[in-house]
Amino acid sequence: MDAVTTASLDVSGLAFAYPDGHQALFGVDFSVARGERVALLGPNGAGKTTLVLHLNGILTGGAGTVKVAGMPVDKRNMAEIRRKVGIVFQDPDDQLFMPTVREDVAFGPAAAGMKGAELEARVHKALGLVGMAEYADRPPHHLSFGQRRRVAVATVLAMEPEILVLDEPSSNLDPASRRELADILRSLDVTVLMVTHDLPYALELCPRALILSGGVIAADGPTGDLLMDEDLMRAHRLELPFGFDPASVAGRR
């Protein structure tokens, strides 16, 4: 398979049990093409976090395989895998710990050996992508929550990943910040896997969705089709906000 057709993410037969014996994944199979935006949906306890932690090798040792851009997630590829898979956590303060925004965004590339004008250009580009370039010298704790989330995205983009994994990206955002983040995510030339309970946001941003339930992929298809399947939604404890009609939004992305 050549570089053009290699999937960004290929998960096959992934099963995993924690040391206490709790089986979280029972054989997960899916593939995400380069440039796709895919929502990962599912009830609490479905195994979503366990799955995400396999994507850059934080968890290993179960059955099955995970490949990123054709590379198996294993020890010999770990450094490159962690560059290619950028995870943006639900709480931006888990990713921002330096005195200024500029230093936070520079941290990853600098740790990888980048310096000087090249490093400055990388930081400027990443902050520009999220509309935060003018805040480079501000302390992160002086920013609003929505601004901090955008800077957290920039810290990951500074590594120029192939896959951006977002954990509940819309949580705690006001409507304007939510819209601004959506505009940013649409503009990025990366593969996106968005883990979310925010079903309208999933429909707005992701043409395709996966439902992970009971440690397996229970459904995979166009996001609007899945959200309009009342029996499927009920079976996997997914509920749309009161009054929200997926049919009114589908096709408007």
Q: What is the pLDDT of residues 91-123, one digit of tens each?
A: 999 889 999 999 999 999 999 899 999 999 999
100 phi/psi in degrees, rounded to 5: -130, 160
Predicted local distance difference test score (pLDDT) of residue 2: 44
DSSP 63-113: EEEEEETTEE-SGGGHHHHHHHEEEE-SSGGGT--SSSHHHHHHHHHHHTT
Average pLDDT in the 173-187 region?
Answer: 92
Average pLDDT in the 5-19 region?
Answer: 90
Question: Regarding predicted confidence, which is higher, 6 or 226?
Answer: 226
Predicted local distance difference test score (pLDDT) of residue 248: 75
Strand partners of residue 163: 85, 191
Average pLDDT in the 24-51 region?
Answer: 93
- Give the model's confidence band at 250: pLDDT under 50 very low, under 70 low, under 90 confident, else very high: low
Instruction: Give residue limits of the domains in the chain.
Output: 9-248
Predicted local distance difference test score (pLDDT) of residue 57: 87
CATH architecture of structural domain 9-248? 3-Layer(aba) Sandwich (3.40)
